[in-house]
Structure 1
Amino acid sequence: AKMDKTPLKMFELAVSCIDTEKPLEDNTVYLSKRDLFAFFKVSDNDKHSRFKQAVEKMQKQAFFQIKEEAGKGFKFKSIVPIPYVEWTDYNDEVKIEFHREIMPYLINLKKNFTQHALSDIAELNSKYSLILYRWLSMNYNQYEHYSVKGGRRAEQVEAYRNPSIKVKEMRLMTDTVNEYHKYNDWDRYILKNSLKEINAHTSFNVTYDKIKKGRSIDAIVFHIEKKRMADDNSYKLDDRAYQEDKARKAETEDQLVLQAMDSPYTKLLMEHFLLSYLDLMDKKILAGLQKNVYPLYDELKELRGLNGVKDHLSYVGAKQEDYSKKNICKYLKKAIEQYLPTVKRQDLNHE
């Protein structure tokens, strides 16, 4: 990727909206300006002009160089990934159109283990950290997948958790072929700084070893460990039993997410600005709503009909404070739990 941190983050956010199961209409996704500002932690009065500058920078600067094996040699492509962006100053919606030539690569990447947490990416402040985090995620996701599902030899599975890469290849990947010619400088500014950020702000703990060929460093072997919060607030490393338990929970979570996506309540929450586009990408939020909040909305619907649910959400949306957005499931659950007894009392009094 030939682009700086801000356009790269914007590109990642747009890519996260692609659903590999449903082809995009006109290769177009829609984002919310509010979500974009939140993602980039922009809150000052100058945010609209800064957003405009970021979009312009992305379109002028962002392109991908792709190298593919073709016959006896290689074929090279240069693609501008996002040729068209449209928004207005009075509307929250931002239309982003991908170039048709980049779509097969994006869909293939998403199908092949490059899903990663947007919340992790949001905290990274260097384009090198972003690029390395994506590559590490791709490898670790394969480790998690094959640890549970099988289909690879034990040493292959371990290689995904301890991936290696030639220094030459990593320079290409990070676009530093012509920068930091001395290895020690490159190691300090690109590798160590990126891993410091990744270890501090993401779910990974990563160390690495240098592999020498002769007197020079030829390759890097990374060792990826996943942080897991235990009851005593310390991190434990993933083991096979944890992986299997995680896979079972993920399957249940996926079912809840699908149900939530189909629920009319999700649409109502969006209409009342209680859910954002970023929330729709968060499986934990959708699963939490389906499991803990939507059954209570069903109770209210029984008593007051769908319009009763709409009235409740309209009131909750008007009263919402910024702190509630940090845990929207907890906020919505508390609101409906406080409201339902009132409705039931009113019905008893009426009878």
Structure 2
Amino acid sequence: MMIIPEKNKNQKQLLSLNELSKRKVVEHNSLITSIAKMDKTPLKMFELAVSCINTEEPPKDNTVYLSKRDLFAFFKVSDNDKHRRFKEAVEKMQKQAFFQIKEEEGKGFKFKSIVPIPYVEWTDYHDEVKIEFHREIMPYLINLKKNFTQHALSDIAELNSKYSIILYRWLSMQYNQYEHYSVKGGRRAEQVEAYRNPSITVKELRTITDTVNEYKDMNNFTKFVLDKPLKEINTHTTFNVSYDKIKKGRSIDSIVFHIEKKRCADDNSYKLGDKDYQDDKKQKSRNEADLLKQAMESKYTRLLSENFLIGMNDIMDTATMVGLQKNVYPLYDELKELIGLNGVKDHLSYVASKKEAYSKRNVAKYLKKAIEQYLPTVKRQNL
């Protein structure tokens, strides 16, 4: 028997990981918004199997073949017990895992419960694993002409909780629509922007994360279903996501997410940081007194006040007003040139409707982020 040098083994493993990094997962949005009745391991295994489907030439027998090497690399398993753990994961997926799908039909809804992968076959002496999808799940994975989402398998690989995966898939669905309508048109600017700042009720979020009867205390729900998963998503995926809680009365009614795509390492474009109000090279000649005077006389200050986006304490704060005049109002001028003053008013009304009390925030930073996100959409639509 020939012994393979350790170096060659490592090269083979690296090839597998590189292959995984290029794969995409494509699913119908109904599957994204369904209830995944499974924990993270079956859910990740399902995503891995879906990435093996060639959507251009779908498998006629609903079957794909996966390398054990790929599978162990995906789950970062390298110990001697990996075959037993793989067997247990497959058994758990087939006995416990299913999707509950809710679709509109007629005057009501149709509900489906589907075990996505009922058949898996492998041997202890061969690298190949045969995975057969249930026929009822296939329409959600192939021949997708509209209402589908694509995301990177490599992002899913790094997520280590069920809630992280579910949130990531849902956020990807929203951001995919933002990118689509930004380019293709067909939606008003406010509608397009809402895809990048999607809102979901707490009730609906509990439904898709299967936590209707868990984490009854809102603090625990926030910690385990929002904060920890989003920390994982921000660390390991292409997204940076923050959120606001929206109250209705005294209770938290909904969550508004704010999704940003991470920029490439060589992108040197300006990013808002801790020095928002320091003069840059182009504005060193302008002194603070002039900026403050311009801000106090600006029609935008009045509009912000009318929409309760700034209060008297903000107006009396020199740094806030200078920051608005220097970083925010020029962007409002751009928007005014594109769609008129009423367009600026509509934007501020929209921002006011989405905000929570942000006394702990930097007001100018918040408003600058909002207009920076909105302007590109308006510019593309004007083209």
TM-score by length of 1: 0.64
Task: Map 1:264-279 onto structure 2 (within 5 A).
Answer: none
Q: CA–CA distance in 2 between the matches of 1:235 and 1:90?
A: 55
Q: CA–CA distance in 1 between the matches of 2:143 and 2:270?
A: 33
Q: CA–CA distance in 2 between the matches of 1:42 and 1:123?
A: 13
The Cα shift of 1:240 comes to 10
State yes or no: 1:165 paired with 2:200. yes
CA contact (8 A) 1:229 1:236 kept: no
Q: CA–CA distance in 1 between the matches of 2:154 and 2:271?
A: 21
List gaps (5 residues or longer) in structure 1. Answer: 244-351
Q: Which amino acid aligns with 1:74?
A: F
CA contact (8 A) 1:143 1:157 kept: yes
State yes or no: 1:182 paired with 2:202. no
Q: CA–CA distance in 2 between the matches of 1:86 and 1:240?
A: 50
User: Aligned pair in 2 of structure 1 residues 44, 111: CA closer, same or farther (>3 Å)?
Assistant: farther
State yes or no: 1:95 paired with 2:130. yes
CA contact (8 A) 2:42 2:89 kept: yes
Aligned residues: CA RMSD: 2.5
Other-structure match for 1:116 = 151
**Secondary structure, aligned partner of 2:141:** helix
Q: CA–CA distance in 2 between the matches of 1:241 and 1:37?
A: 45
Q: CA–CA distance in 1 between the matches of 2:270 and 2:199?
A: 25
Identity over aligned pairs, percent: 85
Bigger relative contact order, structure 1 or 2 (CA pairs below 8 A, ≥6 apart) = 2
- Encode CA deviations 1:120-159: one digit per residue, 9 max, x unaligned: 1111000000000000011111212222232322112111
User: Aligned pair in 2 of structure 1 residues 9, 186: CA closer, same or farther (>3 Å)?
Assistant: same
Q: Which amino acid aligns with 2:50?
A: V
2:187 to 128, 152, 156: 152
Q: CA–CA distance in 2 between the matches of 1:199 and 1:120?
A: 10
User: Aligned pair in 2 of structure 1 residues 235, 44: CA closer, same or farther (>3 Å)?
Assistant: farther
State yes or no: 1:72 paired with 2:107. yes
Q: CA–CA distance in 2 between the matches of 1:232 and 1:23?
A: 38
User: Aligned pair in 2 of structure 1 residues 235, 186: CA closer, same or farther (>3 Å)?
Assistant: farther
**Secondary structure, aligned partner of 2:219:** helix
Highest CA radius of gyration, 1 or 2?
2
2:240 to 198, 201, 205: 205
Q: CA–CA distance in 2 between the matches of 1:218 and 1:61?
A: 31
Q: CA–CA distance in 2 between the matches of 1:17 and 1:218?
A: 39
CA contact (8 A) 1:113 1:139 kept: no
State yes or no: 1:129 paired with 2:161. no
Q: Which amino acid aligns with 1:51?
A: F
Greater share of helix: 1
Q: CA–CA distance in 1 between the matches of 2:80 and 2:148?
A: 39
Q: CA–CA distance in 2 between the matches of 1:23 and 1:107?
A: 7
Q: Which amino acid aligns with 2:80?
A: N
Q: CA–CA distance in 2 between the matches of 1:175 and 1:151?
A: 33
Other-structure match for 1:194 = 229
Q: Which amino acid aligns with 1:225?
A: E
Q: CA–CA distance in 1 between the matches of 2:182 and 2:104?
A: 30
Q: CA–CA distance in 2 between the matches of 1:191 and 1:211?
A: 14
Q: Which runs of 4+ in 1 moved over 4 A?
A: 108-111, 232-243
List gaps (5 residues or longer) in structure 2. Answer: 1-35, 273-371, 378-383
Q: CA–CA distance in 2 between the matches of 1:172 and 1:125?
A: 20
Q: CA–CA distance in 2 between the matches of 1:10 and 1:235?
A: 39
**Secondary structure, aligned partner of 2:150:** coil
Q: Which amino acid aligns with 1:148?
A: V
Q: CA–CA distance in 2 between the matches of 1:190 and 1:156?
A: 26
Figure out how many residues of one structure are paired with residues of the other and give that number.
Answer: 243
2:256 to 221, 232, 238: 221
Q: CA–CA distance in 2 between the matches of 1:96 and 1:123?
A: 22
The Cα shift of 1:110 comes to 8.6
The Cα shift of 1:164 comes to 0.7
